[in-house]
Amino acid sequence: MSTHGHQSCEEILVAILLYTDNEIVDSSERLSLESHCEQCPGCQANLQAHQENVRLIKQLLGGACREEAPASLHERLIAQIEWQAAQMQAQEAAFAPFAGFTQSFTQTIMQRSISPDGEITIEISHTEEFREGF
């Protein structure tokens, strides 16, 4: 393990990932990493390799995301959304007479015990709550 400045190469290797993703917000930490990499050829190589990997991944993903969806997909999606909207409106209309109705039920099962030395223990075994609103 090498050290250049205040941080070890192992610490810098972890920080390189954060640095490349712009997740180091403290300017002194960024400067410390940059200074270390300027003095350490191994860490500089790791930084450059990681930056290149990120660049290549962005390039690949950027190319893949530029493809246009076919018009038939757009048409099918619009038809499906319209069908679902109609179904939701039909359900709302069916439950309109019950608007504002709410039913709730709460059940709690508890066990209480007192030990021979007077210690009281309360255990909640089960709590169930059911609410339904229309």
pLDDT band at 92 (very low <50, low <70, confident <90, very high): confident
Residue found by looking up tokens 């860490």 in the block? 43
What would the pLDDT profile of 8-37 be if each residue is shown by its tens digit?
888 888 899 889 888 888 999 999 999 999
- CA dist 13 and 29 (Å) reads 13
Structure tokens at 3: 């050290």
Relative orientation angle of helices 41-64 and 9-20, to the nearest 10 degrees: 20
